[in-house]
Amino acid sequence: MTAAVLSPSAKPAAIPVGDALPWAVFAGLLLLLAIYFFGAEGGVTSMSGNGALVHEFLHDGRHLLGFPCH
């Protein structure tokens, strides 16, 4: 009885930095926007009637991440 050993024949494809850079910049901008809304947004930029819609929507997440809001 012989044991067959399978070795991986496919090698990972290299991703050029030029192709990944626009996606990295886009993801970084989305991250900065998320940090702004969670950390600094106090309802000032909200378009609702009383100006606190975004603040109230993200309120529990702010406390969970350690941002004070009171």
CA 60, CA 36: separation in Å to the nearest integer? 15
Residue pLDDT, tens place only, 8-24? 778 888 878 888 899 99
CA 54 from chain centre, in angstroms, equals 18
| DSSP letters for 16-67 | PHHHHHHHHHHHHHHHHHHHHHHHT--STT--SSSS-HHHHHTHHHHHHTT-
Per-domain residue ranges of the chain: 42-70
For the entire predicted model, the pTM comes to 0.50
Residue pLDDT, tens place only, 41-50? 655 555 555 6
Contact indicator for 65, 38 with CB cutoff of 8 Å: yes
